[in-house]
Amino acid sequence: MRSPGRRIEDELAAFLGREQVLPGTAAEFLHDATEERGVSGWADAVVLPRSADEAAAALAWCYERDVPLVPRGGGTGLSGGAVPQGGVVLSTDRLQAVRSFVPELWRIEVEAGVRTADLRRRVRENGLLFPPDPGAAEQSHVGGNVATNAGGPHAFKYGTTGAWVTGLEAVVPPGDVVRVGGTLRKDVAGFDLKRLLIGSEGTLALVTAAWLRLVPAPESVLPVVAFFPHLESGCEAVGDVVGSGVVPAALDYLDEGALRLAGPSFPGRVPEGAAFAVLAEADGSEAEAASVLDDLVRVFEGSALAVETGFDRGALWRWRDGVSLAVATASGGKVSEDLEVPVERLVDAVRGTVEIGLRHGLTGVSWGHAGDGNLHATFLVARGDPSGQEAARRACGELFDLTRALGGSVSGEHGLGLLKRDHARWSPRVAALQRQIKAAFDPKGLLNPGKKI
């Protein structure tokens, strides 16, 4: 029971130590990357545990007193998943240790608060690659990537974060530290609880550490960008790449609107009349990468206006990472969704985004991971324009209907969080199973309540 009259912050500080607790007003813990859509929350306290045991103690304290707890990583989420609606925010900022790293066995165990870019740099220095590369890598945490099963451009060849997790340490209600999996690369004994936690958006457990597998870094990586005169020919080229058996590491796209807004900073020449761009990458040994690049160029040359190679890879990906910002800058803000459709329906989803936007008086553009059928469908809306935001909300509802009609999912990368929790559709039986899984882990419903389901 909580002591009457004492604030949650003070009680937690008395229990965990003053240095581990911040006031609930600590603004940087109350929003995530959905802030540009006006989403923010409130909290009673923020805790910063230094170990899994301290995190377990914080959850046990909350569980005993019916206080909600919201796990938080780098706060780069795009669905409001880490935005609290009261209760305690548990930040993984101080869980930063690399617990073990065995380069010769291609594996590493890191705490949940290690930043994605730091992990990628650390293993790269040892000739290895951790392939998942979500956009905000300097801020996002490994725990947040696991909790959202984050993807990124190179998920096309290498899969999303979950494909690289062999084990997790997590705190589960009412406050127990558990380990599921470990360094084993295969393990089919029992149900795969690790897989359930991956992508669970902090609603089943708090991830405190992860065992990750790695691969030797490719010797050579060669980008290519092809520009097409129409959406249709561009999407057809994407299908041709997939159908040809060539395996690029990444297969991204920009539609005409995104190209118009981000094109001026492209580190190369955008040809006149370009209405669709495909950015692909060939990797492997020098000979393999060169051969895949040749194959890609051959496929693209069939219908492209121009096919460009020889880029400075860093400059090209910096530009690609900046597309979102370039689009937002055009009208002072945007509302973006991360739809997922079967790759052969990409053309319909890209066209549909523009058409739905027009119906609502909005400019609709998209870009994303073409090979995965994953599009960042976006409406340009000035920040702080309530009627524009309302139009975008209605347009997004139509987008979700279209996505479902195309056999897709309302979220391919960012999760349901707060913003899309009402938009996933399951059959009654599947919905019941989802609720039962939640109840099995979190019978009181205190872990990130109001998110995902």
Residues paired with 369 in a beta bridge: 374
Q: Among 16, 29, 30, 32, which residue interacts with ligand FAD (rule: CB under 6 A)?
A: 32
Of residues 300 and 379, the one with the C-beta less far from ligand FAD: 379
| Minimal distance, residue 348 CB to ligand FAD, in Å | 22
CA–CA distance, 262 with 255 (Å, rounded to integer): 10
First CA to last CA distance, the chain: 28
Total site size for ligand FAD, rule CB under 6 A: 38
- Residue (55 or 299) nearer to ligand FAD, CB: 55
Structure tokens at 238: 């994407």
Residue with tokens 């929350």: 41
CA-CA distances (angstroms) from residue 174 to 62, 197, 380?
Answer: 9, 16, 44
> Binding to ligand FAD by residue 33, rule CB under 6 A?
yes
Give CA–CA dist 284/217, Å, rounded: 8
Q: Which is nearer to ligand FAD, 250 or 306 (CB)?
A: 250
Shortest distance (Å) from residue 165 CB to ligand FAD: 12
Per-residue binder mask for ligand FAD (CB under 6 A), 193-232, x = binder: --------xx---xx-------------------------
In the beta sheet, which residues pair with residue 98?
110
For ligand FAD, what does the binding mask look like between residues 266 and 305, x meaning CB under 6 A? ----------------------------------------
Query: Under the criterion CB under 6 A, does residue 448 sit at the interface with ligand FAD?
Result: yes
> 78 or 214, CB closer to ligand FAD?
78
Q: Does 75 bind ligand FAD (CB under 6 A)?
A: yes
Asked if 352 interacts with ligand FAD (CB under 6 A), we say no
324 binds ligand FAD, rule: CB under 6 A: yes
Residue 236, CA distances (Å) to 232, 254, 272, 286, 410 in order: 6, 14, 20, 28, 23
Q: For 107, list phi and psi in degrees, rounded to 5.
A: -150, 155
> 286: how many CB neighbours lie within 10 A of its CB?
11
Q: How many residues does the chain have?
A: 453
Amino acid at 200: S
Stretch that binds ligand FAD, among 13-21, 143-151, 356-364, 394-402 (CB under 6 A): 143-151
Kindly state the smallest distance separating residue 211's Cβ from ligand FAD, in Å.
Answer: 14
Helix (H) or strand (E) holding 252: strand 250-255
3-state helix, strand, coil in the chain (%, to 5): 40, 25, 40
Rg (alpha carbons) of the chain, rounded to whole number: 22
Candidates 128-136, 256-264, 357-365, 394-402: pick the segment binding ligand FAD (CB under 6 A): 128-136
Binding site for ligand FAD (CB under 6 A): 32-33, 70-78, 81-82, 92, 112, 134-136, 140-141, 143-145, 147-148, 150-152, 201-202, 206-207, 324, 413-414, 417, 448, 451
